Amino acid sequence: MSITVIETKRMRVRRLVESDARSMFEVYSDPEGCRWVDDGNPITLDECVLWIDVTHKNYQNRGYGMFAAEDRACGQGGRSGQSGQVVGFCGIVHPNQQPEPEIKYAIRRERWGQGLATELASGMLRYAEQELGISRVIATIAPENTASQRVAARIGMQLIDPRIDKDGTRIDVYEWLGTAST
């Protein structure tokens, strides 16, 4: 049984199920699509299966993690795609057990440029604050990733400082403070 977490204008965001491994693989095996994810290398189907298992443990331990985003279009055709198609993934996570909750998202490359990342990220931050009681979320974005920088700006995140990633590269840290923090 899938559990809906949030709905946005165009997407239904729900908990991951085992059958999402194929869709996850389609998103994260695209070299361009995963360029800014972790070490930038595409992942395997087996790694997707493992990721879903880890996410289920996060649901148990934290109550949240990564989620699947499905297209809500009801047979409208055109660029919207098919209702129920997984268009991407998003969530609030703690990579490598970091204490700060971090927003993550990835969209199928053929759906880039439609504002879906902004829509997902905005909905996920509302969910974090209203349902999870999280009032501060970060995003780590490579300085060259201008698309994600624009998403961060649109959803009210501010650049707070650079970090040096585990591989020695610079990564910029953006911060969002919920409405209760202001």
Please enumerate in sequence order all residues whose Cβ is within 8 A of that of 67, keeping only pairs 6 or more positions apart, or say none. Answer: 5, 13, 14, 15, 16, 89, 90, 91, 124
Instruction: Write out pLDDT tens, residues 81-117.
Output: 456 789 999 999 999 889 999 999 999 999 999 999 9
Q: How many C-beta atoms lie closer than 10 Å to residue 145's C-beta? A: 16
What confidence tier does 182 reach under pLDDT thresholds 50, 70, 90?
A: very low
Are 173 and 159 spatial neighbours (Cβ–Cβ below 8 Å)?
A: yes
pLDDT of residue 157: 97
pLDDT of residue 180: 61
Q: How many C-beta atoms lie closer than 10 Å to residue 69's C-beta? A: 32
Instruction: Write out pLDDT tens, residues 116-174.
Output: 999 999 999 999 999 999 999 999 999 999 999 999 999 999 999 999 987 888 999 99
Instruction: Write out pLDDT tens, residues 46-94.
Output: 999 999 999 999 999 999 999 999 998 853 443 444 567 899 999 999 9
Where do the domains of the chain lie?
4-181
What confidence tier does 37 reach under pLDDT thresholds 50, 70, 90?
A: confident
Question: Topology of 4-181 in CATH?
Answer: Aminopeptidase (3.40.630)
Please state the rounded mean pLDDT for residues 8-23. 96
**Residue 20 DSSP class:** G
- List the alpha helices (DSSP H) in 20-175: 21-28, 45-62, 116-130, 146-154
pLDDT of residue 1: 46
